Structure 1
Amino acid sequence: MPTAAPALTLAPSPEIPRRVPIALDARSYDILIGRGLLDDPASYEGLPRSALAAIVSNTTVAPLYAERLAAQLQGRHRRIETVVLPDGEDHKDWATMNRIFDALLAAQGDRKTVIYALGGGVVGDMSGFAAACYMRGVPFVQVPTTLLAQVDSSVGGKTAVNHPLGKNMIGAFYQPLRVLADLATLDTLPDREIRAGLAEVIKYGPIADADFFDWIERNLDALLARDPAALAHAVQRSCEIKAWVVSQDERESGLRAILNYGHTFGHAIEAGLGFGVWLHGEAVGCGMVLAAELSARLGLLDAGAAARIVRLIERAGLPVIAPVLGGAEDWLAHMRVDKKAEGGEIRFVLIDGLGRACMRPAPDALVTEVIAARSDPAVDAAARAAQPA
């Protein structure tokens, strides 16, 4: 299957805000990218009006941005409810989802109620899933406030909650009406969140755009320093690639699976350590290292290219040594419940030369060799010791 993204200019777009369309069979929508979108009335033009709007956020983001979003919605909705969820991947579960449903029912939300997802990937995933389920489907808008959400999780309509046995195993494909990626919200992110978001930026190079990979290598220091022009281009190009993939395969029947590069290993790390111990982007970054090593051992990727991937991930401040978890069998057990597995056979997104991805199984023995070569029990101990008591 073709996996190289169409050639698009690497020059910054002159359009402000930058607009990336997603063209789907049933409906298309725009990703708007720029600084100040949250406070710009034009960002909301064309969105539906309703009796009720629900802003779903979390304890970290709501104090920063919920009132500002509500101020822009005042003229569009008669009532605005703000639902504040606990922050963190460990709260991405049914109990937290029910807080959204409880608020919607208490406010007598109807089928025209609009949900605004204000936050990172956890808020976006749960808000979208709630929107897909409530009254069998109400409209929602993504307002991502983390780099990871702006370049990945807010785009494409994947929504879900976690199960103790696997990440994002319960969910739905449900597209937003619009994505508003206000780059100014990245100013308040901790450095750790910026690095975690860069994992999802980096992945687009190996899977679809070797030129973009080169650009990230040259501009990584600027991205880490939050240079506005560099961040704007990284978000735009990431969204262009994801929009191109999603427009061809909305429900992940084939091509879209390449967007999960590093995620089979990464999700195993998250589930094995406990959700929230490592950030999603940290686990994916390490997962990309393991997948690059596996690609090289299978003869798909030359050693030099694999080393470039590992070096870039390490420069971004992401982990390149994995935890041991409970050993090889625990790793394999977690990966067998990955959504790309078929009949218990683990299928990996692998790199077939920089800029191209493929999906295929690999022998368990080879997978365990890669894990053993790239894991250290000290990582497990350090990760858990860093968690609050």
Structure 2
Amino acid sequence: MKKIDVIVKYFYPLAAGIEINVRNVYKHMVSHGWDVTIHTSTDMPEAKNSLPVIDHLDGMNIHRYPWRWYGFVPRIDWAHTPAIALHNFNIFPHSWLLIIVLIRRTLGMSSPKVFLTPHGGFTPEWRTFSPLSRFIKKTYQEILGVHLINAAVDGLRSVSDWEAVESIKHGMRPDIIHIIHNGLEREVYTQIEKLANQVTTDQVRKLGRYLIQIGRIHPIKNQATGIKALKHLPQDIQFVIIGPVTDPEYKKSLDLLISQLGLFDRVHFLGVISGVNKYYWLRHSVVNVHMALWESYCNVIHESMSQGCVCIVSRGTALEELIKDKINGFCVPEYDEVSVADAVKYILDSSHARQILAMRKRNTDFTRGHSWQNISLQVEKMYTTALGS
């Protein structure tokens, strides 16, 4: 039976990296005859218990539960569910779900195959955690987490080579790891110039020259460095920030920074934009500035490359798998707004037009064939191989 229960803390309507990944992988599996149930919380990051308990999307069943200190308790038929797929690597509910599987297997009881996609959750940027949270999570992972994964998980999908290497360094079994990158939405391969709506095309025309960053408003995405870079750039250069606010306090700090720098009329928070309109914003930007403190594999940089964007990214993360310094973009220290501004000036300098055109072409060439449909087939193959079907 092609059936799978998927556990993830947040899901639609949140449209950040993990949620986009989960939706695109499993909706394609539904089209291949899979029965998919998403188990998730009733929360949005900024609104607790705000979503319906039962829902449906793209042929998937969605069961939502209130989030507690122990996570939530998904209604899983342990004896008859062939597979469960855990996304991210939260302490709860992941730890006790893995323990249940091990107990059932030890007692000879029927139990599902277990798959895990950490999305970098096992190898996070520890600086973004409070001291107490960092101590608790690191202690859990080193003492118990890695042993639970090695004992209970039948297949682990790593979304980047960097994440796979780091996971093995921290003690994970290499034989369970499958490197399957993230994909691109079908809109990438459509006629974006013709399909973008009038509001979007008018906004883009009105703004003129702009930098762009797409991602949730959160300290880990470090929108502050891009904002600071503006003060070193010509007055007509704007900064467009697209994405949901998942950390209201960080948004307040960005508003204060904008006020202190006198950039009210140059920084534009546009909220969530999806589909062809998102890609229209990307392809008409001067550059994508993504100075995130940490990434395991960055959907929005991947998407930007598909539109021929030149990208400036932070050095020292998995972003350097996608962007090679001065080959198809620029890699600079994460807090160095002067280096960001210098890279933007290089791109704007007409004497470098040939080099920039070559970068754009390398990026579009690289992303050909990276559809979510193809990625979903790879994930499905990992599942079916382990299931023996």
TM-score scaled by structure 1? 0.29
* TM-score (structure 2 length as normaliser): 0.29
Larger Rg, first or second structure (1 or 2)? 2
